[in-house]
């Protein structure tokens, strides 16, 4: 075979789109994302939901790179998001910088913060590293409500976030801001999804998985393990910073309660449920975790209220159901829903006969 | 020409001297075998060379450059690759990815830019993929390309690990018991691979092996370790007739054979 043919076949072999079904699925996804805001043009609720998912998906992609791919457990992802949110809001308020620039500043600030809290990963692993990242969470919680810093952070009453304007167009102020913001959040989420997928299918991604699966062998095979761990922390917290900044602009105000340990644990739940080390898992997990409370409130609680004597609120049921689901997944399918779907697909492919 | 010089290396674990003043030279292009009874310190010495253990005394030179106490990854970057006594793969990866990961030190693209795959990353991936396919062909791993390595039989895992080490394009290859745990046929295959790696690819090989018949066949020279010390070195012929070695090693091999070891 001539070498030219080889070349194209490797390129095809490594492409995202390898089978016609991939092309069809991606086309459908693109059509869905493009028509969604127009279909729900007047449905603020559905637009809000899409923005909510898109923004948090960016953060979840980040923690999945760090934990799912590089194997570094973080209980501080909510704090990384907070640093981004506050950095962008404060630079917008105090310096009057434009929206895109402040989002970028938020991401860089979060990245630097994440790098600092990535340093313990030089010595600490697993549970111990998780505790070290928890320190990031408590440090941020502490600083944000600290009255001495209230001139900067607004203390426990928080901050009002300036309007986001893009190309002379105030996208958060206009009536229908949910609609306009969709065209910021969803393209960014798609971009960061593809970026993450490109990273993990190239040498960096293999280095991360190597570190996750066998850090000693990785180091001896020429991977600067510490550097790549820090890189994972940097990218994960950059993602969190983007998400935090967008979320601040989107909801228009900022208080410390948004970014507590509960949020950090939600992120861990998202990647556990969706699928560790799988980007589609980040999407599935984000949708699942963010949608479940609404499903509880609107469907499950009304349905069971006639049968059970105690009254449940979505808030009280949520932790119980999450806990149960996480335990279930850890025991039955540690690779999350995406792996479960893959197995179902595999089963269907072979049943009744393979095609 | 001397490729590797181990000079008076001593490694202690608490009170135990795992390696005790070991010195030997390795020439460029040779297959050098390290033999000795269990617990003699062979793996420890290999770990000192690849930087995983830091000897308290002595120096190690690779091409006249001192590498003692350097970080493992920077030693790898100088062209030293290895395999492990108990296969150390990345359990969640496919064979292809494990071998690709061995190309790491040859990647030039800034890691962050590989996020923009179509600018540069793709070209580089294709370039490395080509080299890796050559290795896959060389080691007859085609049918395992997409298999997750933790699901493969032990003998195949050993071959994948060898493939990962070759992907680094080392000048010196360290093999810790490459035939350990293999069937007789697999051992024969492995011996052929090692000879081809040495003769066709021109890679110098330092290996630890227990199976004396293979050691005698494939090595140019042998060093014998006992309790951390080098008690003899020479050609297979010289070693075979060295009384100290016969006593220390062959005696142990007999004992091991008796207990079915
Ligand atoms: N990490 C370690 N901690 C403590 N002792 C060790 C360690 N590694 C090896 N040793 C000791 O060093 C000696 C040599 O071991 P090793 O190098 O594995 O021998 P070999 O590979 O020749 O069988 C043994 O006594 C072993 O118990
Ligand atoms: Mg050993």
Confidence at residue A141, expressed as pLDDT on a 0 to 100 scale: 87
- At the topology level of CATH, where does B1-79+170-261 sit? Rossmann fold (3.40.50)
In Å, how far from its chain's centre is CA A130?
18
Res A194 pLDDT > 60: yes
List CB contacts (< 8 A) between B122 and chain A.
Answer: 11, 14
Nearest ligand atom owner, CA of B252 = 1
Confidence at residue B251, expressed as pLDDT on a 0 to 100 scale: 56
Q: For residue A80, name the pLDDT band (cuts at 50, 70, 90).
A: very high
Asked if A14's CB is within 8 angstroms of B115's CB, the reply is no
List CB contacts (< 8 A) between B128 and chain A.
Answer: 203
Please enumerate in sequence order all residues whose Cβ is within 8 A of that of B37, keeping only pairs 6 or more positions apart, or say none: B226, B248, B249, B252
Confidence at residue A132, expressed as pLDDT on a 0 to 100 scale: 87
Question: Whole-prediction pTM value?
Answer: 0.91
Ligand 1 atom, smallest distance to B44 CA: 17
The ipTM of this complex is 0.91
Nearest ligand atom owner, CA of B20 = 1
**Token pair of B253, please?**
């091999």
Which of A195, A209, A224 lies closest to B115 in CB terms? A195
Total domains, chain A: 1
Q: If you write DSSP's letter for every residue of A120-184 in order, what string do you get?
A: GGGT--HHHHHHHHHHHHHHHHHHHH-GGGHHHH-GGG-EEPPPPBSSS-BTTTSTTHHHHHHHH
Please say whether the beta carbons of A100 and A166 come within 8 A. Answer: yes
- Tell me the nearest-neighbour CA distance from A44 into chain B, angstroms: 34
Please say whether the beta carbons of B223 and B230 come within 8 A. Answer: yes
Q: Which helix (H) or strand (E) holds A87?
A: helix A77-95
Name the 3-class secondary structure at B45.
Answer: helix
Share of chain A above pLDDT 70, in %: 92
Between these two residues, A284 and A331, which has the higher pLDDT value? A284
Nearest CA in chain B to A232: B112
Q: For residue A177, name the pLDDT band (cuts at 50, 70, 90).
A: confident
Query: For residue B101, how far is its CA from the centre of ligand 1 (angstroms)?
Result: 28
**Token pair of B67, please?**
């590498």
Which of B50, B88, B101 lies closest to A207 in CB terms? B101
Regions of chain B with pLDDT less than 50: 258-261
Q: What residue owns the CA closest to ligand 1's atom 14?
A: B41
Other C-beta atoms lying within 10 Å of the C-beta of residue A231: 22
Kindly report, residue by residue over A236-279, the tens digit of the pLDDT. Answer: 999 999 999 999 999 999 998 888 888 999 999 999 999 999 99
| CA gap A27, A52 in Å, rounded | 23
Please say whether the beta carbons of A289 and A77 come within 8 A. Answer: no
Q: Which helix (H) or strand (E) holds A117?
A: helix A99-118
List CB contacts (< 8 A) between A235 and chain B.
Answer: 112
The arithmetic mean of pLDDT across residues A305-316, rounded, is 73
Confidence at residue A64, expressed as pLDDT on a 0 to 100 scale: 97
Ligand 1 atom, smallest distance to B53 CA: 1
Instruction: Determine if ligand 1 sits within 6 Å of the CB of residue B54.
Output: no
Instruction: Determine if ligand 1 sits within 6 Å of the CB of residue B13.
Output: yes
Confidence at residue B119, expressed as pLDDT on a 0 to 100 scale: 72
Confidence at residue B65, expressed as pLDDT on a 0 to 100 scale: 93
In which residue ranges of chain B is CATH 3.40.50.300 found? 1-79+170-261
| CA gap A259, B137 in Å, rounded | 52
The DSSP bridge pattern shows strands B2-13 and A253-254 to be: unpaired
Nearest CA in chain B to A277: B92
Instruction: Determine if ligand 1 sits within 6 Å of the CB of residue B210.
Output: no
Please enumerate in sequence order all residues whose Cβ is within 8 A of that of A94, keeping only pairs 6 or more positions apart, or say none: none
User: How far is the CA of A26 from the CAs of A30, A165, A347, in angstroms?
Assistant: 6, 31, 23
Residue A286, domain member (yes or no): no
- Tell me the nearest-neighbour CA distance from A249 into chain B, angstroms: 26
Res A8 pLDDT > 80: no
Which of B51, B101, B124 lies closest to A210 in CB terms? B101
Instruction: Determine if ligand 1 sits within 6 Å of the CB of residue B236.
Output: no
Q: If you write DSSP's letter for every residue of A244-282 in order, what string do you get?
A: HHHHHHHHSEE-GGGGSHHHHHHHHHHHHHH-TT-HHHH
- Tell me the nearest-neighbour CA distance from B116 into chain A, angstroms: 7
Kindly report, residue by residue over A242-251, the tens digit of the pLDDT. Answer: 999 999 999 9
Task: Write out the residue range of the structural domain in which residue A224 sits.
Answer: 20-259
Substitution site in B11, B43, B55 for ligand 1 pocket (most atoms within 8 Å of beta carbon): B43
Q: For residue A147, name the pLDDT band (cuts at 50, 70, 90).
A: confident
The arithmetic mean of pLDDT across residues A180-184, rounded, is 93
Confidence at residue A197, expressed as pLDDT on a 0 to 100 scale: 94
Confidence at residue A156, expressed as pLDDT on a 0 to 100 scale: 80
Strand-pairing partners, residue B221, are: B32
Kindly report, residue by residue over A24-73, the tens digit of the pLDDT. Answer: 888 999 999 999 999 999 888 999 999 999 999 999 999 999 999 999 99
């Amino acid at each position: 075979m001539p070498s030219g043919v080889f070349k194209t076949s490797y390129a095809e072999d490594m492409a995202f789109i390898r089978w016609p079904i991939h092309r069809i699925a991606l086309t459908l996804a693109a059509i869905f994302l493009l028509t969604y805001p127009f279909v729900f043009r007047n449905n603020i609720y559905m637009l809000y939901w899409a923005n909510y998912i898109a923004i948090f998906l960016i953060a979840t992609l980040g923690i999945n790179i760090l934990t799912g791919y590089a194997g570094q457990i973080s209980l501080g992802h909510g704090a990384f998001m907070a640093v981004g949110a506050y950095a962008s809001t404060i630079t917008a308020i105090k310096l009057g910088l434009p929206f895109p620039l402040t989002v970028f500043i938020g991401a860089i600030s979060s990245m630097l913060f994440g790098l600092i809290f990535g340093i313990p990963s030089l010595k600490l692993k697993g549970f111990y590293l998780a505790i070290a990242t928890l320190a990031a969470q408590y440090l941020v919680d502490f600083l944000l409500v600290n009255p001495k810093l209230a001139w900067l952070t607004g203390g426990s009453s928080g901050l009002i976030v300036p309007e986001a304007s893009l190309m002379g167009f105030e996208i958060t102020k206009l009536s229908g801001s949910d609609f306009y913001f969709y065209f910021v959040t969803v393209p960014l989420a798609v971009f960061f999804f593809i970026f993450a997928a490109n990273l993990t299918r190239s040498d960096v991604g293999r280095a991360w998985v190597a570190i996750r699966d066998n850090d000693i062998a990785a180091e001896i095979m020429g991977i600067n393990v510490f550097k790549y761990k820090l890189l994972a922390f940097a990218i994960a917290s950059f993602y969190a910073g983007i998400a935090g900044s967008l979320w601040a602009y989107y909801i228009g105000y900022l208080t410390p309660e948004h970014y507590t340990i509960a949020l950090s644990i939600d992120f861990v739940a998202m990647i556990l449920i969706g699928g560790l080390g799988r980007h589609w898992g980040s999407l599935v997990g984000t949708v699942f975790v963010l949608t479940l409370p609404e499903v509880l409130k609107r469907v499950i609680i009304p349905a069971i209220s006639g049968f059970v004597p105690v009254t449940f609120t979505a808030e009280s049921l949520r932790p119980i159901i999450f806990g149960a689901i996480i335990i279930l997944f850890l025991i039955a399918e540690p690779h999350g829903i995406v792996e479960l779907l893959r197995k179902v697909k595999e089963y269907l492919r072979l049943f009744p006969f393979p095609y | 020409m001397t490729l590797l010089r181990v000079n008076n290396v001593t490694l202690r674990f608490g009170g135990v001297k795992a390696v005790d003043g070991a010195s030997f030279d390795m020439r460029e292009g040779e297959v050098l075998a390290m033999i000795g009874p269990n617990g003699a310190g062979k793996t420890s010495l290999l770990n000192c060379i690849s930087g995983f253990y830091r000897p308290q005394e002595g120096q190690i030179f690779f091409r006249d450059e001192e590498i003692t106490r350097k970080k493992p990854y920077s030693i790898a970057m100088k062209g030293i690759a290895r395999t492990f006594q108990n296969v150390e793969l990345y359990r969640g990866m496919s064979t292809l990815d494990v071998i690709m990961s061995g190309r790491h030190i040859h990647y030039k693209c800034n890691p962050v830019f590989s996020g923009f795959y179509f600018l540069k990353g793709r070209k580089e991936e294709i370039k490395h993929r080509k080299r890796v396919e050559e290795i896959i062909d060389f080691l007859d791993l085609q049918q395992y390309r997409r298999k997750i390595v933790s699901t493969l039989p032990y003998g195949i895992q050993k071959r994948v690990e060898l493939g990962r080490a070759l992907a680094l394009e080392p000048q010196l290859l360290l093999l810790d018991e490459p035939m350990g745990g293999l069937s007789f046929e697999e051992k024969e295959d492995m011996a052929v691979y090692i000879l081809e790696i040495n003769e066709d690819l021109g890679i110098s090989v330092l290996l630890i092996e227990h199976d004396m018949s293979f050691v005698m066949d494939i090595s140019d020279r042998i060093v014998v370790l006992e309790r951390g010390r080098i008690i003899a070195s020479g050609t297979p012929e010289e070693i075979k007739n060295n009384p100290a070695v016969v006593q220390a090693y062959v005696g142990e091999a007999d004992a091991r054979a008796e207990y079915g070891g």
